[in-house]
Structure 1
């Protein structure tokens, strides 16, 4: 059956919202906390942690765009300025974290791809407003690249370095974890920038490796929407209502009708919810209908749900047990 103009518009809107950053209360809360601690400046690491699928990547993208907007006037006066840099700590097949790849990724964002051998000095070309590297003896070692990264960050005026997928940095022994975290803290000091590290609960414990790290690392919890919290349930339903509205009626109210089911199945994690909705839209487009049956087929399986729930419970218990409590304070139920 041929789709009506309204149906086509709704389908287009539904697809569009999947690639759209949709803010919700929890993101706003974490951003407020990050901005409150951001002025601590260089030498400190802000560590944003939360469960898998909670929406850390969307949070990082939103925070990145917000920071760029804040520095807009400075950038208009200095076209060579890059005030905020967002990088991913990439996983590789190697046993250890690849620092050379990490530093090279930073340099590529600051300079753009180039075939010029690594040089020894950096500056900003007044004509192109690009960081340049004079020809010279290659120093393509981790230590050499580290020095170049420090100089490039300072030359570009980077004030905040955001590192996504922080677990790839800390998924090592405690000795190596301390060494790698010390390296980040040192990079912050030497380059004069604030570092914000994003990761799942596996990055917890970094600040307990030494007294120096405990003093320099500030943990920020990006939590899910709990089903045992009335406020969280209202906020989750509000997000679903926003999706229904932005999709121009494509879901026929099914998301709101199944709010409780969706919150329980996705464990209150917005990133997981969006993955589920992507599958739902794909099925609905294939079968030419939006139905309860297709929505339920898109849910996490019992095995998937159990695995994610166990990971979240362990992470939440660890986060809460490691927070300092005044005498008489009560721990929130998981």
Structure 2
């Protein structure tokens, strides 16, 4: 029997236990691992200059999972200090809720953050309202007043009192929602002021709607203090292979008597997720839960089980448009850096070997950078066809030839066990 990624005894466990094992399993994969390492480095650096850090990418690419892993890692780092100093909360994670009125609700945000900062006080039996500590504000009276200014000052004091090292804000793109007349820079000025006054760096996690925040003043977002958590692209062989390996990992994680054969339908799963691993996991979660409810003794899953929870044509095309805009903007900014470097070279009278001056690269934004075009309704409703070639899932990177040469996708490597999952796709305690 091929190796499975769950305890064998789980097969006889209740439905909830089997489902929760799969749902909560923290799958590791290359793009996530790199983003985690980069972000931890940024946080360590920004603790010296109170920066605001941006982490953005497509919907359900894994940003929320990343914020949770960072929270766990930082709290673990200071675990010994927390045993000695019961007031210490190294990292705080808050979700920025989408406003109902069209304007971001700062009061709700402050209250949520204060609640996160005071929860641990109860567990450690420390009185947050102890007036002997003059640096700490009476949170209860502030919450009752619901005055934005008072809530802001309460949060500043709470972050100092708790000696917080970083404030993580998930779904931060909701902060960009504002009424007419309110500048985007005003929203970000509030966060920068909070970071400056408390000495606590702030990390914003959100969709591509966060990208305009980078266009604010240099004092607002430091150069290089942002991370693009991108999807796996279908037009890049190595990334396509990694997406399929994630799919393989998920099918091995399902606590079922018989391992389903889903990677032969990798194209179907890609068109429904556009290479976003968070969406792929959500796709599996819904399908697995539904089938367990229908039949607790179900032995395996088949591709037809997933049709019910797949995105519609309109939903997919909307996501494609959002990804196009975000990726084109990211590519354009990289190109602008290239242009600046080349201009510096030109100013130094640099001449190419052929005697011509170096030319700047200009990006044509009219071309799609998504790696997949709009999906037709017929494609969505038609059943997926089996692929003739599957990737070697042991390890082996895709061959890197020149772009002019067409390489066969997922070329077979020397014989290996095709059901093995590479180490980089398995959960790790330390990255």
TM-score range, shorter chain: 0.7 to 0.9
Tell me what 1:167 maps to: 173
Q: 2:128 aligns with which of 100, 124, 131?
A: 131
Report whether the alignment pairs 1:16 with 2:10: no
Whole-angstrom CA distance in 2 between matches of 1:216 and 1:185: 15
- The aligned counterpart of 1:25 is 30
TM-score for the superposition, normalised by structure 1: 0.85
**Once structures 1 and 2 are overlaid, which stretch shifts more, 184-193 or 294-303?**
294-303
Bigger Rg over Cα: 2
- Give SS of 1:198's match: strand
Structure 1 CA distance, aligned partners of 2:290 and 2:119?
A: 40
Q: Give aligned pairs, total.
A: 319
Moved more, 252-261 or 162-171: 252-261
The TM-score with structure 2 as length reference comes to 0.67
Shift of 1:59: 1.0
Partner of 1:116: none
Give secondary structure in 1 for the equivalent of 2:270: helix
Listed as ranges, the gaps of 5+ residues in structure 1 are 114-123
- Does the CA contact (< 8 Å) of 1:244 and 1:250 recur in 2? no
Partner of 1:37: 42
The counterpart of 1:149, out of the listed 155, 163, 166, is: 155
> Does the CA-based 8 Å contact 2:156-2:197 persist in structure 1?
yes
In 1, distance between residues paired with 2:362 and 2:258?
41
Distance 1:71 1:130 in 2: 22
Q: Structure 1 residues 127-136 or 208-217, which shifts more?
A: 127-136
Post-superposition Cα deviations, 1:62-111, rounded to whole Å, max 9, x if no partner, equal 11111111111221221210010000112232232111221111111222
Superposition deviation, residue 32 in structure 1 = 1.1
For the 8 Å contact 1:89–1:165, the answer to whether it is kept is yes
Partners of 1:21 and 1:133 lie apart in 2 by 39
Q: Deviations over 1:112-142 (max 9, x none)?
A: 49xxxxxxxxxx99x9334325469766421
Name the Cα RMSD after superposition. 2.9
Q: Is the 8 A contact 1:49 1:199 kept in 2?
A: yes
Cα distance 1:101–1:10, how it changes in 2: closer, same or farther (>3 A)? closer
Pair 180,217 (structure 1): closer, same or farther in 2 beyond 3 Å: farther
Is 1:225–1:269's contact at 8 Å kept on the other side of the alignment? yes
- Once the two structures are superposed, residues 11-65 of structure 1 have per-residue CA deviations (whole angstroms, 9 ceiling, x without a partner) of 6545521233322221111111112211222431110000011111111111111
**1:217–1:92 Cα change, 3 Å:** farther
1:258 maps to which of 265, 272, 293: 265
Does the 8 A contact of 1:53 with 1:270 survive in 2?
yes
d(CA) in 1 for partners of 2:114, 2:224: 25
Change in Cα spacing, 1:130 to 1:231, as seen in structure 2 (3 Å) is farther
Determine if contact 2:82/2:88 at 8 Å carries over to the other structure: yes
Of structures 1 and 2, the one with the larger relative CO (CA 8 A, separation 6+) is 1
Distance 2:62 2:82 in 1: 29
CA 1:15–1:154: 2 relative to 1, 3 Å: closer
Structure 2 residue 316 is matched with structure 1 residue 305 = yes
More helix by share: 1
Structure 2 unaligned residues grouped into runs of 5+: 1-8, 132-137, 343-359, 371-431
Say if 1:10 and 1:248, in contact at 8 Å, map to a contact too: no
What's 2:245 paired with?
A: 238
Give distance in 2, aligned partners of 1:179 and 1:164: 19
Worse overlay, 70-79 or 127-136: 127-136
Equivalent residues of 1:84, 1:162 under 8 A apart: yes
For 1:9 and 1:240, locate their aligned partners in 2 and report how far apart those are by CA, in whole Å.
Answer: 24
- 2:106 counterpart residue number: 99
Q: Is the 8 A contact 1:165 1:198 kept in 2?
A: yes
Distance 2:314 2:27 in 1: 29
**Cα pair distance change 1:243/1:137, threshold 3 Å:** closer
What does residue range 77-96 of structure 1 map to in structure 2 within 5 Å? 77-96=84-103
- Aligned partner of 2:386 in structure 1 is none
